[in-house]
Structure 1
Amino acid sequence: MTVCNGSVLGTFPLRRVLRRVGRRGASLGFVGLLCLAVAGSLLFAPPGLAATPAYTVLTAIAPLPAWALAWYATGALCLLQMFARSDRIAFAAATALLLLYGLIHLISTFTGDNPLGWVGGAVWLAFGGWIALIATWPECAHQPDLLPGAAPMNAAVVVADAAGVIQSWSPQAAAMFGWNTEEAVGRPLTMLMPPRLRGPHMAALARVCADGHSELTGRLIPLVAMRSDGSEFPVALTVNAWHGDDGITYTGVIQPMGAGNAVE
């Protein structure tokens, strides 16, 4: 088992897990815990609280245990998908339930069933809007500032940690390899290369971790890459290694090679 800067390849320390979760996952975790808290308040509401206008409005639509089940299922889904590469279902479910809850409270104000329902309605609608904003806000691909010179416009920029796990994925990389950001981040770099090259790649990572130096850093390396559909194509790779608190971070600039390409 290879140790690199205090971390063991193939394991997932807390920092790596937190980095993989990211802002979207952290938001889902917060919403998931909120949903579980709401489910508990509905399921174990004392008789006095269950008789308040806010609760009677909900009971008129569905029994409180049914509402609690909806909140519990949404919370569990959010907590599960905060670690997944695809989180769209959790975001959609959370947004829909929060907006529905807010609309019910808001409408109950105009019907007179709950005069103060607009307060809760505003809060729930704001939460729902916040989740919808996070779900639809485009993520900016991280482009390291330490690269020696600007990368060509058609070059893909990929950042990986010491274990060879992808941490950042540029739009050019998505166009070049056919994997979107959600599908690529958190997966090993070996997904980008033919199976015959994966063993030498892992051996090279182990050597770099052992001595902290790579002779390939900064050089233009001709390689064969593999798209998501399994097709292979020639590329030129430039690798730079950065040493930080989290260990070694690799930044790769990948340029396609073909007829008329300046790299070739």
Structure 2
Amino acid sequence: MLRRIGRRGASLAFVGLLGLAIAASLEFVPVEQLGTPAYATLSAVAPLKVWALVWGLTGALCLVQMFMRSDRVAFAVATALLLLYGLIYLISTFTGDNPRGWVGGAVWLAFGGWIALIATWPEAVTVDRLPGDATDPAVVIVADAAGVIRSWNPEAAAMFGWTTEEAVGRPLTILMPSRFRDQHTAALSRVCSAGRSDLAGRVIPVAGLHRDGTEFAMTLTVNAWHSADGITYTGVIRPAGGRSVRAE
């Protein structure tokens, strides 16, 4: 488990707290309100206590996964529940059980769509450091097959001048002088086609680009990993020494 929240985690925190609040409201419904169309519609599908349990578990799951490296399960469950709620309310409008159910249905479906959209945001995972010499921590960057940054550690932020939230979701080309960017893009295409990289595991001297436009010498060790989500690149970077120069 990693101590990370970020934009995705903050969204899960909101959904999680809302889920617990809805669970409590369903568990303790005033007797005089049980016959209202909204509650009657839900009761026709499942007992209110079951709905309360589902919302409670969903809320707890969201609050737990807001701190975890992977939060896909929480987003999937929350999205499914919100869309289900919206469909139930919409259907109740057409059956005549809840004439104004379309209002609630539209709100729940829009909410579910919003959560589904947030689920597509990059997971901003922060890697503290690689095992090894704690006095010389390495810069660690993880990117996907398209060359988009997916993970960014504090050492990377110090070297390149971009915070984790600013860097994640941007292309790797922001870290290199413009004269190397076409070559980098072509190399990514070759790896996707061949399924392997000839540079994997090698220490490569390259030029880095700070956010303020300063170029500096560094060494890069890159590895390509294959998973169900495609190719993932992990780069380990260390400064190569020498004097930094201002890019023209």
Corresponding position: 1:255 with 2:224? no
Paired residue type of 1:255: L
> 1:206 corresponds to which residue?
none
Distance 1:25 1:132 in 2: 14
Question: Quick check: 1:159–1:166 contact (8 Å CA) kept in 2?
Answer: no
| Corresponding residue SS for 2:202 | strand
| Corresponding residue SS for 2:119 | helix
Question: Quick check: 2:140–2:155 contact (8 Å CA) kept in 1?
Answer: no
Offset at residue 108 of structure 1 (A): 0.4
Offset at residue 131 of structure 1 (A): 0.2
Question: Quick check: 1:28–1:79 contact (8 Å CA) kept in 2?
Answer: yes
- Flag the 1:90–1:61 CA change in 2: closer, same or farther, 3 A: same
Question: Quick check: 1:26–1:82 contact (8 Å CA) kept in 2?
Answer: yes
Distance 1:90 1:99 in 2: 14
Corresponding position: 1:236 with 2:205? yes
> 1:41 corresponds to which residue?
25
Offset at residue 48 of structure 1 (A): 1.4
> 1:27 corresponds to which residue?
11
Question: Quick check: 2:12–2:66 contact (8 Å CA) kept in 1?
Answer: yes
Q: Percent identity?
A: 57
Distance 2:94 2:107 in 1: 17
> 2:35 corresponds to which residue?
51
Question: Quick check: 1:165–1:187 contact (8 Å CA) kept in 2?
Answer: no
Structure 1 residues 1-264: aligned runs within 5 Å: 20-138=4-122, 169=141, 171=143, 174=144, 181=150, 184=151, 232-236=201-205, 255-256=220-221
Paired residue type of 2:114: W
| Corresponding residue SS for 2:82 | helix
Offset at residue 49 of structure 1 (A): 1.8
> 2:174 corresponds to which residue?
none
Q: Runs of 5+ in structure 1 lacking a partner?
A: 1-15, 142-157, 190-230, 243-250, 258-262
| Corresponding residue SS for 2:5 | helix
Distance 1:79 1:96 in 2: 17
Deviations 1:68-96 (A, max 9, x none): 11000110000000011100000000000
Offset at residue 51 of structure 1 (A): 1.5
**TM-score, normalised relative to structure 2:** 0.56
**TM-score, normalised relative to structure 1:** 0.52
Q: Runs of 5+ in structure 2 lacking a partner?
A: 157-199, 223-239, 241-248
Q: How many residues align?
A: 168
